Amino acid sequence: MSSFQFYSAKKLLNLIQDSKAMNICDIMLKAEEELTRNNRDRIFENMRYRLSIMKDAISSELSNEKKSKSKMIGGESEKMKEIKNENIFLSEIMRRACEYSLAVMEKNARMGRIVAAPTAGSSGILPGGIIATEECLHLSEDKSVEALFTAGAIGIIIAHNATFSAAEAGCQAEVGASSAMAAAALSSMRGMSPEQCINAAALALKNMLGLACDPIGGLVEVPCVKRNALGISHAMTASDMSLAGIKSVVPFDEVVLAMNNVAKSMGENIRETSRGGLAVSDTAKEIIERIREKRRK
């Protein structure tokens, strides 16, 4: 009996072809059955539960405009929700995805419950994109659950061949990886082929190579929160490009390896240490001093 485990996009596509699977989700479910010894229905419902947490993080945060303890974050999602301007560049689906991604990150900044997919610092991208797509395209919740499995497949390849750790590889490994996962997931929701989904992931990730992790005060707030909204914009654009037939010259597997190589050449100061980038700007220093002063009181 052949295994459904995979650690590269090439292997994943071969499994789809050999098993005559319909999509990436099918292979992921088979792989999970092998690993966990649970049946398909239980695995699917476990993922649906995670989707429910994502949805709750969005809905509860949109009804709460409280600032985080640092006062750096709070109310951004509400502003995106209420924007009224006929000249707005974003389509409704992308505007809503940005709004939702901001909501999840605000929830995280206030120590609320989120799904770290793949990390807390990039936890707004997948739910923002998937839930906005479900709503705006009037899709079933099952489609969203399947999309999470598709995202998981991309995550497996990144985790095996590189990392999700910003401390090791900067924000390219968090927001970049999450954008790639979302690009594939959203493509699957639109009925695109496995090849198109993986191509979308490649387009999204390669545009994030070298992205620094430079959180002010070491908090997952600035620039993390807004970076998630921009990350979902990357994912949606990558999906549209793949739908149009625009191909990544460099295959996804090689893009992942490139990310890992870039990580090795990144200085420590821009890898989550808060000793470089935006974290040492004049404004950041003022904010950090204000937080310290408040703690002293």
**Please, are residues 26 and 270 in contact by the beta-carbon 8 Å criterion?**
no
Residue type, 148: L
CA 290 to chain centre: 31
Report the range of poorest mean pLDDT among 76-90, 140-154, 237-251, 277-291.
Answer: 76-90
Average pLDDT value over all residues in the chain? 96
Question: How many residues make up the chain in this entry?
Answer: 297
Which residue do the tokens 């974290």 mark?
279
What is the CATH class of 9-296? mainly alpha
pLDDT of 36 above 70: yes
The rounded Cα 33 to chain-centroid distance in angstroms is 25
pLDDT > 60? residue 193: yes
DSSP-assigned letter for residue 124 = T
What is the mean predicted confidence (pLDDT) over 130-136?
A: 98
Report pLDDT for 84: 83
In this predicted structure, the answer to whether residue 1 has a pLDDT above a threshold of 60 is no
Q: What is the pTM of this model?
A: 0.96
pLDDT of residue 85: 85
Domain ranges of the chain: 9-296
Please list, in sequence order, all residues whose beta carbon lies within 8 angstroms of the beta carbon of residue 97, skipping any fewer than 6 positions away: 128, 129, 132, 133, 232, 233, 236
pLDDT number for residue 122? 98
pLDDT (0 to 100) of residue 65:
64
